[in-house]
Amino acid sequence: MLSKKKFIAHISLTSDLKSSIIEILQSSPITYEGFTLNPQHGLVLHIPFEAPVQIKHTFYTKKIKEMYLFLEHDAKTIALLFYESEKGQSIVVLNYDPEKFMTKNHLQ
């Protein structure tokens, strides 16, 4: 269960942050095989892209219009993706160190 304490902040999607997000999406994505998505700790970033982005990786066949990025300490990074051309979504597990992402983007 998530803690009832929460902090919500709005940060701009700078070109550096967008580049970091694209980098994390390219890091060996695989389909999430779980049944629920219930983070216990860490950060959840909601990222709506101004214009849908096409990730340069064979895993992604459609442009992503928005996503939620789940960054938990000592856990795999997970992204919930919403696509431009359909109502469906997908959940992917990414092979990227969440600590590295948070440090690089001053999110700690």
pLDDT tens for 29-76 read 999 987 777 777 788 899 999 999 999 999 999 999 999 999 888 888
For residue 8, the model assigns a pLDDT of 63
Token pair recorded at residue 48: 């709506």
Strand pairing of 43-53 and 64-71?
antiparallel
CB-based contact 78:94 (threshold 8 Å): yes
Question: DSSP per residue over 2-57, as a string?
Answer: --S----------HHHHHHHHHHHTS--EE---S-----SSEEEEEEEEEEE--SS
pLDDT tens for 7-31 read 566 788 889 999 999 999 999 899 9
Locate tokens 């070109």: which residue?
15
pTM as predicted:
0.84
For residue 1, the model assigns a pLDDT of 39
Residue of 4 and 102 predicted with greater confidence:
102
